[in-house]
């Protein structure tokens, strides 16, 4: 359901357009050998690094700090914690239109959503993000500080609970 295939196909499109990129794929699962084979078959070994294991929190934090954009291509995911984590580190966000945390993506402000399972749409959104990277990164960090802070979430829950108790 993580849909690495769409990400790899998008990487192939980016390469064909001579768009410079480095892609880090993180995680392990039953499709890892297929993914490695596909990367090799498409000649993407120089652009794609595969971490075929789970990273420690410290390793993940370092990777966020080195990254410009987080892409979450999942076909379905209730709520990917990677989105707020990456936003807190100042990454622009690109998420499929079926992930639960897509509400954190403000189209064109801190990132973009793309049509699930559509590598061309994903590649186009990556290029758009790359062309406006600094603003998207700044806005991601700002959204985390203002709208998704612990204090703001507690205020929202309190309002919700108060409203339920009144009804």
Least confident of 4-8, 45-49, 145-149: 145-149
pLDDT category of residue 161 using cuts at 50, 70 and 90: confident
Element holding 144 (H helix, E strand) = helix 133-146
Task: Please state, as a whole number, how many other Cβ atoms lie within 10 Å of the Cβ of residue 123.
Answer: 24
Q: How far is it, in rounded angstroms, from Cα 133 to Cα 110?
A: 9
Bridge partners, 26 (sequence order): 51
pLDDT category of residue 37 using cuts at 50, 70 and 90: very high
pLDDT at position 8 is 97
pLDDT at position 151 is 77
Q: Three-state DSSP class for 72?
A: strand
pLDDT of 139 over the 80 cut: yes
Which residue, 50, 48, 8, is CA-closest to 26? 50
**% of the chain exceeding 70 in pLDDT:** 98
pLDDT, one tens digit per residue, over 92-110 is: 999 999 988 888 999 999 9
Q: Look at 147 and 143; give whichever has higher pLDDT.
A: 143
Within 8 A by CB and 6+ apart from 32, the residues are: 50, 52
Q: How far is it, in rounded angstroms, from Cα 9 to Cα 149?
A: 35
- 16 phi and psi, to 5 degrees? -65, -25
pLDDT at position 166 is 77
Element holding 95 (H helix, E strand) = strand 92-96
Instruction: Specify the pTM.
Output: 0.87
């Amino acid at each position: 359901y993580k849909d690495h295939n769409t990400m790899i196909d998008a990487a192939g499109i980016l390469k064909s357009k001579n768009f410079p990129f480095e892609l880090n794929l993180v995680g392990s699962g039953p499709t890892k050998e297929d993914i490695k084979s596909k990367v090799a078959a498409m000649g993407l070994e120089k652009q794609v690094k595969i971490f075929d294991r789970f990273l420690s929190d410290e390793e993940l934090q370092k990777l966020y700090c080195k990254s410009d954009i987080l892409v979450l291509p999942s076909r379905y995911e209730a709520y990917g914690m990677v989105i707020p984590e990456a936003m807190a580190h100042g990454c622009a966000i690109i998420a499929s239109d079926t992930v639960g945390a897509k509400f954190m993506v403000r189209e064109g402000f801190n990132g973009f959503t793309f049509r699930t399972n559509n590598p061309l749409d994903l590649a186009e959104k990556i290029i758009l993000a790359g062309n406006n990277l600094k603003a998207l990164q700044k806005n991601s960090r700002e959204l985390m500080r203002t709208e998704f802070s612990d204090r703001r979430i507690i205020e929202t829950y309190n309002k919700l609970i108060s409203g339920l108790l009144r009804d």
